[in-house]
Structure 1
Amino acid sequence: MTNMWKEVQPTDEYIVQLNGLLHEADRDVLQFLYQPLVGSSSISLYSLLWGEVERHQLESENFMHASLLSMLSTNVNQLFEARLRLEGMGLLKTFVRGTDKKEFLYQLQPPLRPNEFFEDPMLSVFLYRQVGSGQFQRLKQRYAVRFSTNDTYREVTRSFQDVYSSEALTNASMPPSAKAPNDGKILFESQNEGITTDFASFDFHLLLAGLSEAMVPRSAFTYHVKNMIAKLSILYGLNVLDMKSVVLSAVNEENTIEIDALRKAARDYYQLHRSPSLPKIQHVRITADEQMAPTIEQSNEQELLTYLESSSPVQVLKDASNGGEPTKSELAMIEELLYHQKLPAGVVNVLLQYVLLRTDMKLTKGYVEKIAAHWARKKITTAKDAMELAKNEHKQYSEWKEETNNGTKKRRTNKTIRKEKLPDWFKARQEAKNTAKPSETEKGDDLEFEEKKRKLQEKLRKRSLRQVNNDGAD
């Protein structure tokens, strides 16, 4: 296992900062809703960091990680993993400064309110799979309270102007600005933003390219809708083409996308095409070296692999065209590779680059589909495996390329070709070229070619004789 001492050492100092006031009710939410997802060690770390901040304060004094390790009775590896789980769940933000001797700032984020937690598609599904149906319903009931609607009442609340009067204040009597001493902050409450999702991880360009304006207006893709689409694609492992069907199912009569309908459509699609059981949260073990990967110089091949694995096929085509948008036929080809051939995006990117370089930056449909079918049968799932197979099968793919080109030429020759009108100067020049006698230079070139051909044949004949003699000697 990678040594976590590269990431944090017991002698490194840290301070704890609260992003707004935390309340006792937050402890209850952390224990009953978050703990099943992140584990008891992560909640213990959160609680201990919270305890480092004195009451009615937002920031702690400086401490060393050695004391944190001893209080938690844990080691550096376990501490690092517990910290990452809190970060991934949106409960902690980590900042660091310095290189040799690091100083960390751990900023605790308040947990989501119970209603926000159960409305989040990822958190609610993961909790349901973790604790089971019965316990999940009991947890929901724990935070369910009676709240009568006011539809049958008539509001008689008075406004401020009805109750109070205000005299104009002079500049001299204006109160000082609401700043705490020493440029501090007045105590405030903050709100958790939930699990953060990166819009760049989802190719909205390809999604919108497959949905016409008449089917789904672009105005329907609000920030909240895009955020939900990105979350659902991560939660259920749905690609762009899967989400295309989901979005179409969630559009209502007003041509807007309902969040609840979007969640239900994604869940139904997953259970129909993938698995009847809802997905379960899995902890990805991240090493310190992976955290530092962006700062380490990578080889050219590794950089290319990273680019191909992380980019969308549409972006790869745009980069190959110096920013030009892919055509409709090219988008349809990408859709065929992703949806019907079921090739991962990274494998499709390798295929696109290989074909573009082999065919003078032209995507020949038959050639692409033939290689794609081969890779699908070979069950290629990573860009690295695709690159290796392309290198090993280069000779075979070259033959396929020639077959495709010959087939295209043959089809063209069977068609009636319309003769284009040419200018007179072009005809005269062409006729002169056809009737002209070969020049002395052309004759010299022909003689030189024949001489090279003769020498090569003589060389091959002598090599053949040597081979015969050697065989006889044996």
Structure 2
Amino acid sequence: MRIEVRCIEHLSSEQRQSLSLLYGPLIGKSSVCLYEFLSAIQNKIELEDLYLMLSMNEAQLDRARNHLEQYHLIETYIHEEEMLIFLYAPLMPNKFLCHDAYSRLYLASVGVNCFDKVKMMLQKDVSVPSDYTKVESPLDVSRLDAWNESKEIAYEKVKPSMKQKYDFDFATLFKGMDRVIPVRYRTKENLDRIAEMAKIYGIDAKDMRKYVQRSINPSTHVFDLEKLKNMVMGNRKVVKINKDPYQMSPVKFLQNKQNGIPVVKSDQALIERLCTEFQFPVEVVNTLIEYTLQQTHQQFSRNYVEKVAASWVRLHVDSRKRALEIINQGSVENRKEKKIENVVLDDKFYTQKEDKSDSQIQQEMLELQKMLKEGKL
């Protein structure tokens, strides 16, 4: 098999520190070595040569590659006898240590003392003396004020194609909204956040248009994402169940589980964490919701849900099928633990001993006392 390696991002010195000090204890030396090697060659190589140069066998290489995939350091695509690997930069140290899943896994791996020492080692002094004045030069986007829908169409034709992270109808969202949602608001960060909220909370493009419009202050021209989120979380529209309910937005899935009663904000926030920080697909989040409700008599307990979610991260659950395998495996093990084995006793245990008379018991006691005095016992 021939492997083609493409490096998507250049690694900074901080990201290299993150790879060695933070990712290293979680993915292992073999995975770090594989990542560094792929980053160095950035070319085509035969799989057999890769085994030879890294002194790894097939199982070791697959395990190292799987670890890199789990932490989103690489993406692997296979077609017949060809393999395509994309390399992505590690998270910056501060983002890694604030990541809900990665930081917990790291703490569990290295312990509190090592965690604190590494955190201090990677900490940079960003304080500025009080007598200094910050010099700011904001980006001038006034030339985009005349941007219209026809220019946007022309731009869409020439811009590089990008991998879509979310399945959301942006065409409906932006149609006829040039003045309401100017181009300067259509940053990747804003679009990702809009599509992410639509997926989690079950908001269609038409309703999102209304919420986005209300989130932009016409006087200050500030796009308030927090205000948008509050309106999205307050959405009370009941969504019809799809043919596959596990592909519904997770918030609407839970709302249907409780007979259409709106989901409280704390539960919504917990679901959002499962989607964004644990990075589970929608079908996995919905399966997790259903499973934890069944296990806790319909109580959506944050501690229990996050405990199950963390275990699923470690077990590499990335689909409903994989989640059901883990659930079924646990059910079988629980049944084995609860099963009471039938103990068959030997006939001698059922033989009743003959009752002894008082004189016989007294005689045996005297014999025992005699043996004790003579030191025979």
TM range (shorter): 0.3 to 0.5
Task: Flag the structure with larger Rg.
Answer: 1
Report the TM-score, using the length of structure 1 for normalisation: 0.38
Q: TM-score, normalised by structure 2?
A: 0.47
